[in-house]
Amino acid sequence: MVSRENRAIAGSFVLLVTAIAVLTAIDSYTGISMGQHPLPAFLLLVGFAVVVPQLYLAATDDGESDDVSPQARVRFATVAIAAFALLFASDVLLTGFEASPLEDTEALQNLLILAIGAVSLLVLLGYELVAGSRSSGSGETR
């Protein structure tokens, strides 16, 4: 029998392939290319392929499987967002902005991708700090 985790990942892959097919059809009919718009491509790839299945599995954890905790799934999703953000916007990091991000839409989208990655790491750091202080505070009962 196929596990719930494998079904969720396979379902997200099917959604990703379907979304890419739709975007390719839009590109061929309208001329709007995903190569010129990295932000939707980033959101599509990271959202459907990585974040959605991990958050779904974290939200629907029934406690029967001890393999991966919901917290670990959320941590993985946030770190994956940041890693993919660095990959998608690596050309901007290596070469810098050729024009002002407010004048060039592709540069602005790359800047937004980097901001999404940074915010995901900051949210994870904040969560870990709060969880750490709660666990250390609740452990001191005298």
Mean pLDDT by 10 residues, the chain (142 residues): 82 85 83 77 85 88 74 91 89 70 78 93 92 75 48
Q: What angle do CA 98, 102, 106 make, to 5 degrees?
A: 60
pLDDT at residue 132, as a whole number: 86
CA distances from 86 to 16, 92, 94, 95, 133 (A): 20, 9, 11, 13, 30
Say what the pLDDT of residue 9 is: 83
Predicted pLDDT at 85:
92
Domain that holds residue 112: 4-138
Total domains, the chain? 1
Q: What is the pTM of this model?
A: 0.78
Q: Return d(Cα 86, Cα 57) in angstroms, integer.
A: 25
